[in-house]
């Protein structure tokens, strides 16, 4: 038991008028591994400085641009070690590269960028650096998502045949982007969001979850993207058939017009000797149909959970955990990786949290979906 | 309250060595509207007569062929009024036509036939007759399936955008057709089952349910059919994207290799003002997300159920009903229609139970799926 | 496979203006083991004869009194073998004895009688006869209730510590007995119902279920009976603590003022090595927490169900069964017992369905609850 | 948006070898309202200082006794403002009084003390002080528990008739207190835990929840306490009947021998116009049966949730929250109250979090249960 100093970090975006910054900060804070020391919280200087003040960031470390922040923090002895990027999609690539060049580790919101070209350039930059890059596909932080992944890796359900993943939301069932809500506005705008709407915003989460849990590559997809709401420029419903490298088949559905659905991410994986099901609505339970075809429930940190997933828990079994704990697990794993690099310039091996490869793959998924849908569902390779 | 004499009926197939005949007989018997008087229960004369004897059918009305049965029963004053056909798929068309010509009403198991050509011929024959034809898409007999259909007809969830239906089973996850089980054997044999495997056996149920509940035509589909089990000749997993006449989109998934799934038929319909969800696992509850986005539960015959669906119930609210009750509802509605024709030669209007048009449509669905899948998922019209 | 002639039966009560008669008749009919040949369907001759006519009972076998029916049917060569008593509680004992004396087997609705004295006399009469007596504690007919009972008998959950059973309904949350509804009226009237309200009507079901599943005697109880609705003469809410013969403890709760509850019977049994839970809301699933503390689901007729419970099923696993099937199982078991006595005058051993002993025990339970409650919850022995 | 300085706090107990301290610290940290500056983390000086070091507490503020800590911190200009007491029950009263006298606000684990006499003295001390006292009945921090309370206060389900609350755990189904586990050991020891076992450890949570949600006083109770495990000195199963001030009736069940139950706290409240149900297993959903008897689901922060409960959420609707968030809500509300007192010596009015009165009431509940059980379930008043 020795003191591990918290990671000093800064944030780009995430001003107090938005929502997502607060989740990131709470996740960073939950286990005490991070300390917020700097920020360029908004492109509006008033909001930026007010946010800094309310968050306890010293005024000289509240910046009006990310470029200035990268430069100044790099020059300080007590400068930040890591940065969290929570801007709209088109403003990921620039900050990422600036802070990378300034020698900082990166935690970046998904999808990686707004264009595939940006993503490829960023991928190169990260790959050639020795910095940690974490992409917040936060659902992979749930202990029972890990449990499913590990059981599949260990062959517990046999050869994978079917992977079904879905992520329905309903908040965009009406023309919400014309209601003045900022988060809805930029997501609906191709300039800021990129060419994908729902497919980029949450489809990439679902896709990554399918990949993360199954451990299988998706070779090709056939997609049908729809915009149900009049005048909407980007897709709001996404149906994708998938073919996996091992001959497995999958269905991915994600929607932002699924009436009254809040955030219904779920997966089902069927092998030739078992199956696993998990739903974000009830994330503390994983259903396992074993070789005898009995459906058994694995509870988070409960008697059937493996130590490897149980140790990701903060609370004892039976005390529900949720989104912020899952998010915090990614932050904690990132902190561990960053700390390992304080004494070494080599990236640790075997990192389980999502990184730059997952980010590029997500962008390829978006583009394959858009291309396939434009070609009336033609099967399209991801690579 | 006056006595309505039970319908005298006979059965083709359904000998005591099988399973499905017993369900049909129980459904026919439940409300007392049918009386079993004749049968050609098996192509094996020993099984046929033993079954007749055990079922209380007089020996002179236990037949060794359906042709003989049709002829003899037509000649009797107390001959059967209706016949139930529960043979393998390739033996539907012949008996149907024989009994139709003998003037009897038909209750036939699904899918309609084993070939599209047979289906079209049978469709013509039925259409030109004045006999009742009921196809046992039994899931449409559930009171809450009707409730969903009626609410959608009444516009309660607005314009339909998404229709998701699935029907997973797991019994064919291994090479069960080579284990000696008769029901598995004929279903896996193209000669007896037709060109569709899972898509014909249960895919047609799922498709019909989507149509029945939504009230919408499916214009075209894109399908991916897979045979996961080695040496299997027909599909055992079916993924279908659907385009509805009104611009709605749908996903249909059905499988017989979904590990440990028993009979998981379900649907979800999302409109632009509400949604409805129902699962066969818990058929006494229908979930309705209303205009205020509240999820409310409609229980069978409960306070929120309409009189029109509640009157289909045998038991009071809170007393679970299931498969045989749903099946029996179709039998009861058929009995009502047949009785109406005792005094008239005109088929009643507005019959809600599935009929010959649904049977032909199911066959077109099977063939469109097979064609689309063979063409690598090309969008294929049903008509 | 040989023909077993249906049991010829008659019914006392159950006219078409009521509800419960229809359930009994459907249950009797479902497997084809019974045939309705006679009835005294109502104390109102008009209803009695109209019911007989609508039910296909010959007019000369439609009786205006049960005494006449017992006498006449006993005199016929083709007279009924069994009688079903579905009158209000105070009209059970009379018909039971009359038909017993006429040599008929009895199927009687619960609770056994309206007074303990009547129950004791009837118990003596049945015990001294050689006739079958079945009390319709219908919930014991569910295959998974049997599964639970057998697993406990086999020691699968170890020594029983806790038995919780509850049966909430909400239909009497308001003064429904003053609304003109007949079933509500007689249940609220001590003259016809007996001294117990809710405790007699459904408390006896819950108590019997606890006994049936656990296999344990209840030694003493402490009860709190309440009448929440103004002017109501009998209890409408019942809380009971129970002490079992082996030192186990239990809670029984039943209510008819539990707002919006339909028919929520359920039990949970905790042993020192496992537990079992079942709810009538979802009767096709039994939850078993095994020795490793894993919660596994046993589905009706599914892979984990024992053959002994699975063979009670009509439909394959995954096809929901409900109330009428459970009810029908008791009828089928009674038919089997009656048929065994066609060739013998000795009652078969090992009958699993509820009988006269259970009926008397239920009455003792009612009276112990009333006494305990009147004595401010004093612990009261059942015997 | 202005900076609110975190509350400086210290901790008594909660060393790194235990579990509960970590939950408290995470809850305190989640929203950034508290900063850990001092501690007497263990009675073992080695563990105490190692914990301090690992938690980033300066060595001069790591104390070997709470007395020293109270004294020293009171003398510092930057001394702690609040203290968190997470020691075994018999070590609550001493520290509470010492820190109270040192002018600090108190956050104390439940139950309040190990004896009723201690509780009454502590109640007097707190009442006479002007310090904030928060008792961590953490389940009252769940947004939907608040939603239920507020709806009941607003009369939405009418007059309360029935309050059922239960809290089953299974961890003590075997003789775990003799396995060397510290948390199990002290809980089973009357010297450290007090006269109540399960009734004190979690029964007080259940009791307080019933009171908190219903808003009603419990006038008297009848209890049956059992020790199922051989040689166990305190109760491990608790059955309680309750009578509320308004004539309502209740059942409370809590157990630590309920096989395979993890932490199944739940409540159901039935009024004469509606009902509400909530379970800790799925804390993001509250079931409301409304006046029309429809069961509707209120999701945390969802469309049906009131702003008053929704604003307690960190994450958007559909993103599960759990135990640490609920716990953190109590910490946040306490921080708000403490900040309000930075500028005033008057305790704010209308505090919703549990306080000293609830602590004393919980102790009275424990003692009434023990007394009633010893008197064979005699109804016993709480006051």
Distances (CA, A) of C271 to C130, C206, C379, D260: 38, 19, 24, 10
A292–C304 CB contact, under 8 Å: yes
Residue C266, min C-alpha distance to chain D (Å): 15
Phi-psi region of C379 (alpha: psi -120 to 50; beta: other; left: phi over 0): beta
Q: Could you tell me if D338 and D81 are in contact, meaning their C-beta atoms sit under 8 angstroms apart?
A: yes
Burial class (CB in 10 A: 0-12, 13-18, 19+), B180: exposed
B270–A259 CB contact, under 8 Å: yes
Q: What is the predicted pLDDT for the residue at A347? A: 86
Other CB atoms within 10 A of residue C4 CB: 14
A324–D321 CB contact, under 8 Å: yes
CB proximity list for D156: less than 8 A, separation 6 or greater: D273, D274, D288
Q: What is the predicted pLDDT for the residue at C235? A: 97
C294–A295 CB contact, under 8 Å: no
- Spans of chain B, pLDDT less than 70: 1-3
Smallest Cα–Cα separation from A136: which of A14, A286, A49?
Answer: A14
**pLDDT single digits (tens) C135-154:** 999 999 999 999 999 999 99
B257–A270 CB contact, under 8 Å: yes
B376–A379 CB contact, under 8 Å: yes
Tokens (6 digits) for B100: 């139709």
Residue of B270, B291, B376 for testing the chain A interface, max A β-carbons within 10 Å: B270
CA neighbours closer than 13 Å in the CB half-sphere of residue C266? 17
CA gap A138, D23 in Å, rounded = 21
Q: What is the predicted pLDDT for the residue at C3? A: 66
ipTM entry:
0.95
Tokens (6 digits) for D339: 């900040």
Tokens (6 digits) for D248: 């309502």
Q: Which residues of D305-333 are buried (b: 16+ CB within 10 A; e: fewer)?
A: beeebbebbbbbbbbbbbbbbbbbbbbbb
Q: What is the DSSP string of B242-260?
A: EEETTS-EEEEEEES-STT
Q: What is the predicted pLDDT for the residue at B3? A: 66
* SS3 labels along chain D: CCCCCCEEEEEEECCCCCCHHHHHHHHHHHCCCEEEEEEECCCCHHHHHHHHHHCCCCHHHECCCHHHHHHHHHHCCCCCCEEEEECCHHHCHHHHHHHHHCCCEEEECCCCCCCHHHHHHHHHHHHHCCCCEEECCHHHHCHHHHHHHHHHHCCCCCCEEEEEEEEECCCCCCCHHHCCCHHHHHHCCHHHHCCCCHHHHHHHHHHHHHHHHHCCCEEEEEEEEECCCCCCCCCCEEEEEEEECCCCEEEEEEECCCCCCCCCCEEEEEECCCEEEEECCCCCEEEEECCCCCEEEEECCCCCCCHHHHCCCCCCCCCCCCHHHHHHHHHHHHHHHHHHHHCCCCCCCCCCCCCHHHHHHHHHHHHHHHHHHHCCCCCEECC
Q: What is the predicted pLDDT for the residue at A3? A: 66
**pLDDT single digits (tens) A327-383:** 999 999 999 999 998 878 788 988 999 999 999 999 999 999 999 999 999 999 998
**pLDDT single digits (tens) D8-34:** 999 999 998 888 899 999 999 999 999
Residue of A243, A249, A259, A294 for testing the chain B interface, max B β-carbons within 10 Å: A259
A304–C296 CB contact, under 8 Å: no
Q: Which residues of D99-130 are buried (b: 16+ CB within 10 A; e: fewer)?
A: bbebebbbbbbbbbbbbbebbeebbebbeebe
Residue D275, min C-alpha distance to chain C (Å): 6
The closest CB to that of B294, out of D292, D293, D303, belongs to D303
Q: What is the predicted pLDDT for the residue at A156? A: 98
Q: What is the predicted pLDDT for the residue at A346? A: 85
- pLDDT tier at A33, thresholds 50, 70, 90: very high
| Residue C163, beta-bridge partner list | C250, C269
Biggest CA pair distance of chain C: 64
3-state secondary structure of B108: strand
CA nearest D321 in A: which residue? A322
Smallest Cα–Cα separation from D313: which of D326, D304, D303, D323?
Answer: D326
Q: Which residues of A touch D303 (CB under 8 A)?
A: 260
| Residue C13, beta-bridge partner list | C86
Q: Could you tell me if B285 and B301 are in contact, meaning their C-beta atoms sit under 8 angstroms apart?
A: no
Q: What are phi and psi of A238, to 5 degrees?
A: -140, 120
A323–D323 CB contact, under 8 Å: no
Chain A, 308 to 337: residues with Cβ < 8 Å from chain D are 314-325
Q: Provide the number of CB pairs (under 8 Å) joining chain C to chain D.
A: 99
A253–B251 CB contact, under 8 Å: yes
C272–D260 CB contact, under 8 Å: no
Given a cut of 70, is residue D118 above it in pLDDT?
Answer: yes
Residue B41, min C-alpha distance to chain C (Å): 14
* Residue whose pair of structure tokens reads 């008397």 in the numeric block: C360
C56–B321 CB contact, under 8 Å: no
Given a cut of 60, is residue D1 above it in pLDDT?
Answer: no
C1–B16 CB contact, under 8 Å: yes
B322–C284 CB contact, under 8 Å: yes
**Average confidence (pLDDT) over A110-117:** 95
Radius of gyration of chain C (CA): 21
CA nearest B263 in C: which residue? C318
**pLDDT single digits (tens) D195-242:** 999 999 999 999 999 999 999 999 999 999 999 999 999 999 999 999
- A5 reaches C (C-beta below 8 A): no
Omega before residue A139 within 30° of 0, cis = no
- B302 reaches D (C-beta below 8 A): yes
Neighbours of chain A (3+ CB pairs under 8 A): B, C, D
Tokens (6 digits) for D291: 């006046």
Q: Could you tell me if B214 and B269 are in contact, meaning their C-beta atoms sit under 8 angstroms apart?
A: yes
3-state secondary structure of A207: helix
Q: Could you tell me if D48 and D64 are in contact, meaning their C-beta atoms sit under 8 angstroms apart?
A: yes
CA B153 to mean position of chain CA atoms: 21
DSSP-assigned letter for residue B77: T
CB proximity list for B282: less than 8 A, separation 6 or greater: C282, C320
Residue B159, min C-alpha distance to chain C (Å): 31
Residue of C296, C299, C306 for testing the chain A interface, max A β-carbons within 10 Å: C296
The closest CB to that of C320, out of B2, B50, B322, belongs to B322
| Residue A39, beta-bridge partner list | A11, A62
Q: Which residues of D touch C174 (CB under 8 A)?
A: 272
The closest CB to that of A302, out of D262, D280, D320, belongs to D262
* Residue whose pair of structure tokens reads 């004053």 in the numeric block: B77
Q: Could you tell me if A151 and A288 are in contact, meaning their C-beta atoms sit under 8 angstroms apart?
A: yes
Burial class (CB in 10 A: 0-12, 13-18, 19+), A180: exposed
Chain B, 359 to 378: residues with Cβ < 8 Å from chain A are 376-377
Neighbours of chain C (3+ CB pairs under 8 A): A, B, D
Q: What is the predicted pLDDT for the residue at B300? A: 97
3-state secondary structure of A146: helix
Q: Which residues of C touch B2 (CB under 8 A)?
A: 53-54
A262–D315 CB contact, under 8 Å: no
- B296 reaches D (C-beta below 8 A): yes
Given a cut of 60, is residue A1 above it in pLDDT?
Answer: no
The closest CB to that of D304, out of B294, B297, B299, belongs to B294
CA gap B314, D108 in Å, rounded = 57
D299–A262 CB contact, under 8 Å: yes
CA gap A161, B230 in Å, rounded = 13
B222–A226 CB contact, under 8 Å: no
Smallest Cα–Cα separation from D192: which of D280, D87, D278, D268?
Answer: D87
Chain D, 110 to 169: residues with Cβ < 8 Å from chain C are 157, 161-162, 164
Chain A, 224 to 283: residues with Cβ < 8 Å from chain D are 260-264, 280-283
The closest CB to that of B275, out of A161, A251, A260, belongs to A260
Q: Could you tell me if B204 and B113 are in contact, meaning their C-beta atoms sit under 8 angstroms apart?
A: no
Tokens (6 digits) for B378: 């090309």
CB proximity list for B116: less than 8 A, separation 6 or greater: B363, B364, B366, B367
Given a cut of 90, is residue D5 above it in pLDDT?
Answer: no
Q: Could you tell me if C274 and C188 are in contact, meaning their C-beta atoms sit under 8 angstroms apart?
A: no
Smallest Cα–Cα separation from B252: which of B285, B225, B283?
Answer: B225
- B179 reaches D (C-beta below 8 A): no
Neighbours of chain D (3+ CB pairs under 8 A): A, B, C
- Spans of chain C, pLDDT less than 70: 1-3
The closest CB to that of C295, out of A292, A293, A297, belongs to A297
**pLDDT single digits (tens) B182-191:** 888 888 889 8
């Amino acid at each position: 038991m020795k003191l591990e100093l918290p990671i000093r970090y800064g944030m780009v975006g995430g001003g107090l008028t938005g929502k997502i910054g607060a989740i990131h900060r709470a996740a960073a804070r939950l286990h005490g591994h991070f300390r917020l020391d700097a920020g360029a919280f908004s492109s509006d200087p008033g909001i930026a400085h007010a946010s800094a003040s309310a968050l306890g960031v010293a005024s000289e470390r509240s910046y009006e641009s990310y470029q200035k922040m990268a430069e100044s923090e790099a020059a300080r002895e007590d400068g930040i070690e890591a940065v969290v990027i929570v801007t709209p999609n088109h403003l990921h690539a620039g900050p990422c590269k600036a802070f990378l060049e300034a020698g900082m580790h990166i935690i970046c919101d998904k999808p990686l960028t707004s264009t595939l070209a940006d993503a490829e350039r960023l991928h190169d930059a990260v790959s050639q650096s020795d910095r940690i890059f974490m992409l917040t596909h936060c659902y992979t932080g749930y202990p029972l998502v890990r449990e499913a992944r590990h059981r599949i890796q260990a062959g517990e359900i046999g050869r994978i045949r079917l992977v079904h993943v879905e992520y329905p939301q309903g908040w965009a069932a009406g023309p919400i982007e014309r209601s003045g809500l900022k988060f809805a506005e930029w997501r609906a705008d191709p300039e800021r969001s990129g060419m994908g709407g729902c497919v980029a915003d949450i489809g990439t989460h679902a896709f990554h979850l399918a990949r993360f849990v199954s451990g299988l590559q998706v070779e090709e997809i056939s997609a049908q993207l729809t915009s149900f709401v009049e005048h909407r420029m980007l897709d709001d419903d996404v149906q994708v058939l998938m073919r996996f490298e091992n001959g497995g088949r999958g269905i991915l559905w994600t929607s932002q017009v699924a009436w009254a659905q809040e955030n219904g991410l779920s997966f089902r994986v069927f092998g030739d000797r078992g199956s696993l099901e998990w739903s974000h609505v009830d994330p503390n339970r994983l259903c396992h149909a074993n070789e005898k075809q009995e459906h058994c429930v694995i509870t988070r940190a409960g008697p059937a959970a493996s130590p490897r997933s149980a140790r990701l828990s903060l609370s004892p079994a039976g005390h529900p955990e949720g989104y912020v704990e899952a998010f915090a697990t990614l932050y904690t794993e990132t902190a561990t990786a960053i700390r390992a690099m304080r004494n070494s310039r080599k990236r640790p091996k075997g990192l389980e949290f999502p990184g730059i490869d997952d980010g590029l793959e997500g962008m390829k998924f978006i583009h394959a979906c858009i291309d396939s849908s434009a070609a009336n569902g033609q099967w399209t390779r991801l690579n």
